[in-house]
């Protein structure tokens, strides 16, 4: 971005340079002349100069003089010299003699007096430059007062040249100056028209314009052929600064549609140089005329926002989809050209506008960042950690923790023996994630209120570090479940109310649960046994073992320990185990998997006997074939490290889609990807995903293929095709063959520090000179850390930061409360901080 900015700045500087290369006297700044005679004799023909006459002493004109002096340099750029002429005492000529002439400035071209200005019209540099140029550019800039005047000028210009019409609330303002400076450069190309009449502004703009801000229109009169119609107008949508006006005029001057016949990657137009996108209308020989009309139509719509180019596909060998008809090239370096299939011109306009909006925001952000850098990174002390901020905003709310027992070093061990199962949250009362979990924990306590045999408790490790250390808790938060006579279990699931509640409830039953009778086993598969768990829906898993297969059983039991709390596991190894396995046509050792309340029971032989393999197999078998992906369940599917085929749906998916997708998921390609769907109503963050994937919003449902782990390309299933297994499969084949172009690619960016830190080292170096002498570790490693030493000496520099801070601190007294007590009492003495040292 800044590179582009530089580009237009440099071209502008060039223009100004041309303007200022008009012959001049060579002296810089203000010139002094000893007497009026000397001044007039030195005037060159055709050369403008602003003169003011002062008696030897004139204290009254002093502020005015300062302004004149500081504007001398600005005016010099336009070839206008500023001269201070001293009036000898005895002089009684026209300029020196009269009292009131001394309060004026005179503008000469050669020796001809063009205008005299009362000093009160020249109150600052802006007003001086604006007024002087206004007087000099009398022909180039017409001043109008009525709509009729404006229309007259417009009519005269039609078919000949374009008009720049500007409204400024008052003359002598910065905007006025910007308009005049632009007129100085462009005055010969375009007709400039200026007004200060608010009525005229209202007549020329739609809606209710703000009369207090300036406004500039470019009127395309050169192209206007119909004398009855007003010229087309394009407003400058940005504040009136010389840079913005220059940019606007450059854009208006560029051809409406550029015809190109080379690789779009290599094309660069004025638009791209000025940081605007370039839209390519991809054309073919057959449709060339129509495409050209479309391009012109779009170009008018996008005037000032983007450039439009017409690209003949016949002339360029493009390696893109044949269907694509529009391409978008953004000015950002390294951003690939997007090729799109769009249906009408509005989509093009929306595309560009959305794109610009994002850019605008980013730009503003950047500008803010830049500003901030000037102000010593004031954002640094604004919290940007969502968890920390949320917790501190919530800190005044009293948590309903009556259900949660507070444990201490004294009562910890005695409390553990009170309930069958004690859940302990180890946390630190100053740590945000701990406190966030504590909030969910209080909700869990509320859910589980009255459940027998469960005691919820907490230990604040900030109060009892010895206890936490003894329990080997090194990280916060940690949740442990202590059961009588058993080893404690550390919770390793999501820090959420539901997940934790379910874990605690499931943990009550041993895992795996030994089932004693056939009836129990059947009841278990139906989800009716044991009664503690009947209210909780879970997929049930039953291991069947003939007594002989003890090795598999050991592995299964060990796996149960690992999966305890996450999976409902039972096992059956009574004598009639064979009968049970026959019923589900497997032979032991095997696992029976009862999904959705035992309506379907699946039998899987248990062939592997290592604990790790059994755990992995159980985890894998528990995954759904075509799951609804949600925030809590995504990680399980991420671990498969496969591409995702996601159906985004606004609400539930239809039976049809569900059926087709299931077919797809169960098919032979099942191993290669995760087929899933996302309910935007239930998981609204999906909107955020879609917004990242597509510049324009696709209609829902939309099917998307994402290579999350390899390359990050995102492909959109063509919206015109219906989602059937066949269509999707053939589309996927095309994807695999590289025949489809990705809609977008996921950012590969690293997670860098969001904001810089305070550079204390640099601050110390400026004030502790001996430190820089000891810069042995890495000389030249970080040049930024060796700022030039200021010569002020110790105390002078020490006061630096405090002076800076005074203004800001006065503005925000709330901050001072952060200070310590001695500071509270001495708020008015901020400025002197540390100078006493």
- Show contacts with other proteins in window 764-823 (CB under 8 A): 764, 768, 770-771, 773-778, 781-782, 798, 801-802, 805, 809, 815-816, 818-823
> Residue 670, interface with other proteins (CB under 8 A)?
no
In a 3-state reduction of DSSP, which class is residue 263? coil
Positive/negative CA dihedral, 399, 403, 409, 412: negative
* 391 binding other proteins? (CB under 8 A): yes
Given the complex with other proteins, which of 276 and 311 has the nearer CB atom? Answer: 276
- Bridge partners of 706? 644, 714
* CB closer to other proteins out of 116 and 210: 210
Q: List the strands of the sheet with 540-544, edge to edge.
A: 513-514, 568-572, 540-544, 590-595, 600-605
User: How many residues bind other proteins, per CB under 8 A?
Assistant: 143
Least distance between other proteins and beta carbon 829 (Å): 6
* Closest to other proteins by CB, 333 or 749: 749
Binding span for other proteins by CB under 8 A among 23-31, 225-233, 275-283, 426-434: 426-434
Q: Does 493 bind other proteins (CB under 8 A)?
A: yes
| Stretch binding other proteins (CB under 8 A), from 136-144, 492-500, 533-541, 724-732 | 492-500
Q: Which position among 213, 417, 486, 730 is part of the footprint of other proteins (CB under 8 A)?
A: 213
Kindly indicate which of the ranges 326-334, 356-364, 530-538, 603-611 contains the residues binding other proteins, using the contact rule CB under 8 A.
356-364
Least Å distance, CB 147 to other proteins, is 24
Stretches 489-497, 504-512, 532-540, 571-579: which one binds other proteins (CB under 8 A)? 489-497
Of 585, 491, 481, 597, the closest CA to residue 539 belongs to: 597
Q: What does the DSSP 8-state code read for residue 654?
A: P
Query: With binding defined as CB under 8 A, does residue 437 bind other proteins?
Result: yes
For the stretch 330-353, what's the b/e string if a residue is b when 16 or more beta carbons lie within 10 angstroms of its beta carbon? bbeeeeebbbbebeebeebbebbe
Binding segment for other proteins (CB under 8 A), chosen from 140-148, 216-224, 253-261, 748-756, is 748-756
Q: Which of 20, 41, 161, 392 binds other proteins (CB under 8 A)?
A: 392
Q: Containing H/E element for 117?
A: strand 112-118
* Identified binder of other proteins from the candidate list 148, 450, 749, 813, rule CB under 8 A: 749
Angle at 338 between CA 337 and CA 339, to 5 degrees: 115
**What would the 3-class secondary structure string for 180-231 be?**
HHHHHHHCCCCEEEEECCHHHHHHHCCCCCCCCCCEEEEEECCCCCCCCCCC
Task: Please state the separation of Cα 51 from the chain's center in Å.
Answer: 52
Contact between 816 and 833 under an 8 Å Cβ cutoff? The reply is: no
- For other proteins, the binding residue among 264, 589, 686, 701 (CB under 8 A) is 686
37: enclosing H helix or E strand: helix 36-42
Using rule CB under 8 A, residue 346 touches other proteins: no
CB of 518 to other proteins, least distance (A): 35
CB atoms within 10 A of CB 818: 8
Query: Which of 290, 764 has the CB closer to other proteins?
Result: 764
C-beta of 405: minimal distance to other proteins in Å?
Answer: 16
Helix axes 125-136, 174-186, angle to 10 degrees: 40
235 contributes a contact to other proteins by CB under 8 A: no
Q: Which is nearer to other proteins, 124 or 522 (CB)?
A: 124
- Read off the tokens for 553: 């059983």
Q: Nearest distance from residue 495's CB to other proteins, in Å?
A: 5
Q: Return the half-sphere exposure (C-beta side, CA atoms, 13 A cut-off) of residue 28.
A: 0
Cis peptide before 701, with omega less than 30 degrees from 0?
A: yes
For residues 111 to 150, the per-residue mask of contacts with other proteins, x marking binding by CB under 8 A and - elsewhere, is ---------xx-xx--x-----------------------
In terms of Cβ atoms closer than 10 Å to its own Cβ (0-12, 13-18, 19+), residue 55 is middle
The interface mask with other proteins, positions 300-339, x = CB under 8 A, is: ----------------------------------------
- Does 494 contact other proteins by CB under 8 A? yes
Please state the closest distance from residue 612 (CB atom) to other proteins, in A: 16
Rounded Cα distance between 552 and 154, Å, is: 94
Question: Would you tell me how many other CB atoms lie within 10 Å of the CB of residue 642?
Answer: 17
Position among 114, 337, 640, 763 found at the interface with other proteins (CB under 8 A): 763
Burial (CB < 10 A; 0-12, 13-18, 19+), residue 484, is exposed
Nearer to other proteins, 34 or 792 (CB): 792
Kindly state the smallest distance separating residue 454's Cβ from other proteins, in Å: 20
In angstroms, what is the minimal distance from the CB of 432 to other proteins?
6
115 CB neighbour count, 10 Å cutoff: 17
Residues 6+ apart with CB under 8 A from 559: 569, 611, 614, 615, 618
Beta carbon of residue 515, minimum distance to other proteins (angstroms, whole number): 28
From candidates 364, 370, 418, 519, binder to other proteins by CB under 8 A: 364
- Check residue 406 for interaction with other proteins (CB under 8 A): no
Collect all residues with Cβ–Cβ distance below 8 Å to 439 and sequence separation of at least 6.
394, 399
| Tokens of residue 256, six digits | 């409406």
> Are β-strands 191-195 and 104-109 bridged in parallel, bridged antiparallel, or unpaired?
unpaired
* 465 touches other proteins by CB under 8 A: yes
Q: Which is nearer to other proteins, 390 or 518 (CB)?
A: 390
Applying CB under 8 A, does 672 fall inside the site for other proteins? no
Instruction: Give first-to-last CA distance, the chain, whole Å.
Output: 46
Bridge partners, residue 193, by sequence: 142, 165
Nearest distance from C-beta of residue 648 to other proteins, angstroms: 11
Inter-residue contact 489 to 480 (CB < 8 Å)? yes
Q: How far is the CB of 501 from other proteins (least distance, A)?
A: 12
Identify residues 155-184 at the interface with other proteins (CB under 8 A): 169-170, 172-175
Binding segment toward other proteins, per CB under 8 A, in 12-20, 219-227, 472-480, 735-743: 472-480
| Contact between 747 and other proteins per CB under 8 A | yes
> For other proteins, which residue of 29, 63, 336, 793 counts as binding (CB under 8 A)?
63
Of the residues 321, 623, 755, 810, which one makes contact with other proteins according to CB under 8 A: 755
Name which position in 290, 321, 358, 810 contacts other proteins (CB under 8 A): 358
Single residue of 23, 59, 227, 754 touching other proteins by CB under 8 A: 754
- 581 SS3 class: helix
Angle between helix 386-393 and 432-447 (nearest 10)? 60
| Pick 241 or 658: Cβ nearer other proteins | 241
Q: Name residues contacting other proteins, limited to 615-634 (CB under 8 A).
A: 631-632, 634
The least CB distance from residue 277 to other proteins, in Å, is 14
């Amino acid at each position: 971005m800044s590179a582009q900015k530089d580009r237009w700045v440099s071209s502008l500087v060039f223009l100004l340079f041309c303007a200022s290369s008009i012959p001049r006297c060579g002296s810089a700044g203000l010139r002094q002349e000893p007497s009026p005679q000397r001044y007039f004799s030195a005037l060159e023909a055709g050369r403008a100069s602003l003169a003011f006459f002062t008696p030897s002493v004139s204290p009254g004109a002093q502020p005015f003089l300062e302004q004149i002096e500081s504007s001398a340099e600005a005016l010099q750029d336009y070839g206008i010299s500023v001269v201070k002429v001293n009036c000898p005492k005895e002089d009684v000529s026209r300029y020196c003699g009269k009292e009131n002439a001394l309060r004026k400035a005179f503008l000469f071209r050669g020796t001809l007096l063009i205008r005299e200005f009362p000093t009160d019209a020249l109150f600052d540099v802006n007003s001086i430059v604006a007024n002087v140029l206004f007087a000099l550019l009398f022909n180039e800039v017409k001043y109008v007062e009525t709509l009729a005047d404006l229309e007259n000028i417009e009519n005269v210009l039609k078919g000949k040249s374009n008009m720049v019409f500007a409204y400024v609330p008052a003359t002598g303002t910065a905007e006025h100056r910007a308009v005049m400076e632009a007129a100085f450069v462009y005055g010969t190309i375009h007709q400039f028209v200026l007004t200060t009449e608010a009525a005229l502004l209202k007549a020329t703009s739609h809606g209710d314009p703000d009369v207090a801000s300036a406004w500039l229109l470019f009127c395309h009169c050169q192209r206007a052929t119909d004398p009855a119609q007003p010229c087309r107008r394009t407003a400058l949508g940005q504040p009136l600064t010389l840079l913005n006006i220059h940019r606007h005029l450059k854009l208006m001057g560029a051809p409406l549609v550029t015809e190109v016949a080379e690789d779009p990657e290599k094309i660069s137009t004025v638009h791209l140089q000025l940081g605007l996108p370039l839209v390519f209308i991809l054309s073919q020989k057959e449709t060339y005329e129509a495409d050209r009309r479309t391009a012109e139509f779009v170009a008018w719509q996008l005037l000032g926002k983007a450039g439009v180019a017409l690209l003949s596909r016949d002339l360029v060998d493009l390696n893109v989809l044949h269907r694509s008809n529009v391409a978008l090239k953004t000015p950002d370096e390294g951003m690939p050209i997007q090729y799109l299939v769009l249906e009408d011109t509005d989509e093009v306009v929306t595309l560009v506008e959305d794109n610009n909006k994002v850019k605008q925001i980013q730009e503003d952000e950047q500008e803010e960042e830049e500003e901030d850098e000037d102000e010593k990174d004031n954002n640094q002390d604004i919290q940007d950690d969502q968890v920390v901020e949320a917790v501190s905003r919530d800190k005044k709310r009293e948590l309903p923790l009556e259900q949660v027992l507070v444990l201490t070093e004294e009562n910890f061990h005695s409390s553990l023996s009170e309930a069958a199962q004690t859940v302990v949250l180890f946390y630190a009362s100053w740590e945000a994630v701990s406190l966030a979990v504590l909030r969910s924990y209080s909700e869990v306590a509320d859910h589980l209120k009255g459940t027998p045999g469960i005691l919820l408790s907490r230990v604040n490790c900030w109060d009892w570090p010895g206890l936490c250390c003894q329990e080997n808790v090194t990280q916060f938060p940690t949740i442990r479940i202590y059961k009588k006579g058993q080893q404690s279990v550390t919770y390793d699931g999501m820090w959420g109310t539901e997940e934790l509640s379910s874990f605690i409830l499931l943990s009550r039953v041993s895992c795996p649960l030994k089932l004693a009778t056939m009836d129990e086993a059947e009841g278990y598969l139906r989800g009716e046994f044991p009664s503690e768990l009947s209210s909780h829906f879970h997929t049930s898993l039953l291991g069947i073992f003939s007594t002989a297969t003890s090795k598999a059983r050991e592995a299964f039991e060990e796996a149960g320990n690992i999966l305890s709390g996450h999976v409902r596991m039972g096992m059956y190894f009574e004598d009639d185990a064979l009968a049970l396995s026959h019923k589900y046509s497997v032979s032991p050792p095997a696992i029976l998997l009862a999904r959705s309340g035992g309506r379907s029971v699946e039998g899987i032989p248990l062939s592997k006997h290592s604990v790790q393999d059994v755990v992995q197999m159980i985890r894998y078998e528990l995954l759904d074939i075509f799951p609804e992906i949600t925030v809590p369940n995504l990680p399980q599917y991420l671990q498969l490290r496969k591409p995702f085929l996601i159906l985004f749906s606004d609400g539930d998916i239809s039976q049809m889609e569900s059926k087709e997708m299931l077919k797809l998921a169960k098919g032979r390609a099942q191993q290669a990807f995760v087929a899933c769907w996302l309910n935007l109503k239930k998981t609204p963050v999906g909107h955020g995903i879609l917004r990242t994937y597509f510049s324009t919003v696709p209609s829902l449902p939309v099917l998307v293929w994402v290579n999350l782990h390899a390359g990050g390309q995102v492909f959109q299933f063509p919206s015109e095709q219906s989602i059937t297994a066949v269509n999707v499969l053939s589309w996927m084949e095309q994807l695999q063959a590289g025949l489809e172009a990705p809609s977008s690619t996921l950012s590969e960016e690293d997670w860098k520090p969001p904001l810089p830190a305070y550079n204390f080292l640099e601050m110390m170096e400026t004030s502790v000179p001996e430190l820089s002498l000891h810069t042995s570790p890495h000389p030249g490693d970080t040049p930024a850390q060796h700022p030039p030493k200021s010569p002020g000496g110790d105390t002078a520099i020490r006061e630096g930061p405090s002076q800076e801070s005074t203004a800001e601190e006065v503005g925000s007294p709330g901050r001072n409360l952060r200070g310590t007590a001695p500071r509270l009492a001495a708020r008015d003495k901020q400025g002197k901080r540390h100078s006493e040292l």
